[in-house]
Amino acid sequence: MRFLVTGGAGFIGSAVCRLLAANPVNRVVNLDKLTYAGNLQSLGSIERLVNYRFVRGDIADEKLVGTLLRDEKIDIVMHLAAESHVDRSIDGPGAFIETNIVGTYRLLNTAYDYWLGLDSARKNAFRFHHVSTDEVFGDLPFDSGTFTEDSAYAPSSPYSASKAASDHLVRAWHATYGLPVVLSNCSNNYGPYHFPEKLIPLVLLNALEEKSLPVYGSGENVRDWLFVEDHAKALEAIATRGRIGESYNVGGRAERRNIDVVRAICSILDRKVPRANGGSYADLIEMVSDRRGHDRRYAIDPSKIEVELGWCAEESFETGLEKTIDWFLANESWWRPLREQKYAGERLGEAVRAAI
């Protein structure tokens, strides 16, 4: 198969590229704009493979995307390019609207024009896979329910609203124009190569640098955690074997309170790299004012992908977290420049917006 992966230098996208390119029968073209979270260092293991190509560019550049689709004879578009951090969307929603909504619209237009020009066999084989988030479904009560593929959309943040809009656009291009699409909505990812603005790498690196470990509100908010390499395998299955027009929820069956995630990181670090003062890293935990519009709980029911496509998460939260921490401890050369040049751990999402 010949894949175009958008956003392939990002956290999840790079995991997808590494997985796909490891199979020499695949051709993988990675299109990424290289905004702040895009990192070619995450692709070092595949950058010299003959079946892999990186192209720097914007999904909204219809001429460039069209040329790539035709020249590379793409069979499957895996669309992961997105602005993805809730706190950043609170401070600056405009970039999320431009990339996640307008960018997806332009990518759909280009993919549709390309698809129309294919011969019947390749037209039948073509897929447009849109990768999204469980945050489009909004807030769940603490004590009941999970998100299914039939859950109503109720986004709470500019980020989740922009992803909800892009989901609807993709479905509309299938319903109105017949473009063969599949969609997926995932729970919180974690693992190697994770940009340090997100909870797990932020807490981990702050702890190693003896900085405070900020936890929003009371720490009771719950997330379902999914190891990124498990997610990449799910995405490959959906893109290649998912039913046209269907969506698949991808989760790790690993719900945890935020405070328990932070304490688990501290416990592993206490064992692997004890503090010089003999104390626990948990002593650095600091409860801070809550994020605005902070959803209480997300929880994915992944039964559909488990039954239909035979996928299930291989890593438990405990094994995945251990692997993640081991990777960060062994790869300071990857994360140190990010901490020094792009994101030092400051709090985001605090800008006061009197009007938008």
Active site amino acids: 134-135, 159
Which domains, from first to last, does the chain contain? Answer: 2-196+225-253+297-316 (3.40.50.720)
pLDDT-derived band at 295, boundaries 50, 70, 90: confident
Q: In what order do the strands lie in the sheet with 27-32?
A: 52-56, 27-32, 2-6, 76-79, 127-133, 181-186, 247-250
pLDDT above 80 (res 178): yes
Tokens of residue 319, six digits = 């094994």
Q: Tell me the pLDDT tens digit for each residue of 8-55.
A: 999 999 999 999 999 999 999 999 999 989 999 999 999 999 999 999
| pTM, two decimal places | 0.94
In the block, residue with structure tokens 């960060």 = 328
Confidence (pLDDT) at 351: 54
> Mean of the per-residue pLDDT values for the chain?
94
- The alpha-helical segments, DSSP class H, found in 117-223 are 120-125, 158-177, 199-208
Contact 197, 348 (CB under 8 A): yes
pLDDT above 70 (res 352): no
DSSP state of 282: G
Provide CB contacts within 8 A for 121, sequence distance 6+. Answer: none
